Amino acid sequence: MKNIDTVLGLLLSVMASIPAFATSPVEERHDALVNDHKIVFFGGGQDPETDSIRNLIENFYYDQFRSFQDPEAPYFLFMSRDSQLAMGIGGLVRMRGYFDWGGTTGTPGFSPYFIPVKRDELNRQRFGTSPAGTALFFRVIGRNRRLGNYQLYIEANFNGYQTRDFHLKKAYAVVNDWTIGYASSTFGDGAAVPPTIDASGPTMKMDGTNVLVRYMHHFKKSGMYVAASVETPDMTVQDDGTTTAARSLFIPNFAAMVQYEWATGQHVRLSGIARFLPYRDLITGRNHQEVGYGVQFSTVFRPVDPLTVYGTVNGGKSYSNFGGDFLLGKYDLVADPAEPGRLKTVPGWGYFVGLQYNFCPQIFMSATFGQGRYLPSFTVDGTDYKYGLYGAVNLFWDVTPRIRFGGEFNFGKRQDFNGENGWGRRAGLLAQFSF
């Protein structure tokens, strides 16, 4: 008993010596970003207290649908002296270079869907560069006596024609629990997507953006979030104009999610979506409407301070218009050769897992693997896409809180129903500057 008491005493003394305020490398990097701002005060009175400034800046990073690819809070902030209003204008310059060999996708994004299954001697290797992801954004955060907390956000990216055209990426307003505008779908979970240099990211990543109306409430004592939204629909169908034809969409998508968050940046989430897909049978002259749906479970957590785990699994019928490889084809409604005039929803599923290890707050690496599968219940063309595999291993170095360099190796596989398959490989580099 005396020996046990001695051991217990030593353990307690060691535990007591660990600082209570110790933070993980991820949290240290976040703190460095929060402290890296140039603040310009306006209005009468004295400058606000440090805690008030930090709380307002933290709101720039508070977004349950934020992803690794999204820009950081702007460096230049205009803040009222009563801490009731903050406005930031920022930008992000992102340049990627890549070299493909073995099987080239022919696109800046590395997607297994585009990997050729037959050797192409004209495109065995490819070198390319892209400024895609370069962005300008504007955010206003404030508090009003009548409206409560509100936020306005506009972001535009150079992701258009040849990745150089300027186009709108997001534009929305948040008033307390309500979001109205062009924003990330409630079905997605950007925070659970592992870091990649490749803009496409893991196959079956649900990252759709729609015009929507969303209600989301945070139960602070329990750490629970609930959200539901009505979203503008879109679809791609295999109509031929002779036996089948797509009809105008007239019922919105409905999405919802519930999330438990036990610490900042660590959560589990369950989300779902329902879609209504109309078409016309031109042989019988009848209108039909199929129902698609998707369910997704996602998580991000840190079992130990330097390690972050990401995971997502999703499945359903004709839900993939919101991201992933299936978004690149016409898989919402598919023609069945055995039943001319009919279009059907098709089952599918996908997953990806990722690990991130921080050697220090400024240097970290990650590895990702995932796949997506297309599961029609009827015979399809042998050259149709059956499944795709996606992998990435990368290393990032934050020279300063706003200057980042990185390197990545991607590999992927496309498998067709006739048994043919092809592999693709890519080495990529990243230089990123934000303000």
Tell me the pLDDT tens digit for each residue of 254-271.
999 999 999 888 999 999
Q: Which band of pLDDT confidence, cut at 50, 70 and 90, is reported for residue 14? A: very low
**Any idea what the CATH number is for the domain that residue 402 is in?**
2.40.160.10
pLDDT for the residue 102 = 80
For residues 210-218, average pLDDT: 95
Segment 316-343 mean pLDDT: 81
Is the per-residue pLDDT at 79 higher than 50? yes
In tens, the pLDDT along 216-233 reads 999 988 899 999 999 998
Confidence of residue 314 (pLDDT cuts 50, 70, 90): very high
- Tell me the pLDDT of the chain averaged across its residues: 85
Say which range, 7-16, 51-60, 72-81, has the weakest mean pLDDT. Answer: 7-16
Q: Which two tokens stand for residue 353?
A: 């897992």
Q: What is the pLDDT of residue 12?
A: 38
Total of domains in the chain:
1
Task: Assess contact for 352 and 381: CB atoms under 8 A.
Answer: no
Most confident of 240-244, 398-402, 428-432: 428-432
Structure tokens at 161: 């024609």
d(CA 72, CA 170): 15
Amino acid at 39: I
Axis-axis angle for helices 25-35, 50-61 (nearest 10) = 110
- At residue 416 the predicted structure's pLDDT band, cuts being 50, 70 and 90, is very high
Phi, psi of 354, deg, nearest 5: -150, 150
**Residue 191 domain boundaries:** 2-434
pLDDT score for 19: 39
Q: Are the C-beta atoms of residues 109 and 408 closer than 8 Å to each other?
A: no
Rounded Cα distance, 412 and 369, in Å: 9
Phi, psi of 120 (to 5 degrees): -115, 105
pLDDT-based confidence at residue 97 (cuts at 50, 70, 90)? very high
Min mean pLDDT across 40-54, 272-286, 294-308 is at 40-54
Which of these ranges, 106-115, 140-149, 306-315, 319-328, has the smallest mean pLDDT? 319-328
What is the reported pLDDT for 15? 33
> Residues 61-95, buried b or exposed e (16+ Cβ, 10 A)?
eebbbebebbbbbbbebbbbeebbbbbbbbebebe
- Which of 204, 182, 183, 205 lies closest to 193, judged by CA? 205
Q: How far apart are alpha carbons 279 and 334 in whole angstroms?
A: 11
For residue 18, pLDDT over 60 is answered with no
Q: Secondary structure of the chain in the HEC alphabet?
A: CHHHHHHHHHHHHHHHHCCCCCCCHHHHHHHHHHHCCEEEEECCCCCCCHHHHHHHHHHHHCCCCCCCCCCCCCCEEEEECCCCEEEEEEEEEEEEEEEEECCCCCCCCCCHHHCCCCCCHHHCEEEEEECCCCEEEEEEEEEECCCEEEEEEEEEEECCHHHCCEEEEEEEEEECCEEEEEEECCCCCHHHCCCCCCCCCCCCCECCEEEEEEEEEEECCCCEEEEEEEECCCCCECCCCCCEEECCCCCCEEEEEEEEEEECCEEEEEEEEEEEEEEEECCCCEEEEEEEEEEEEEEEEEEECCEEEEEEEEEEECCHHHECHHHHCCCCEEECCCCCCCEECCEEEEEEEEEEEEEECCEEEEEEEEEEEECCCCCCCCCCEEEEEEEEEEEEEEEECCEEEEEEEEEEEEEECCCCEEEEEEEEEEEEEEC
238 confidence band (pLDDT: 50, 70, 90): confident
Contact assessment for residue 363 and residue 195, using Cβ atoms and an 8 Å cutoff: no
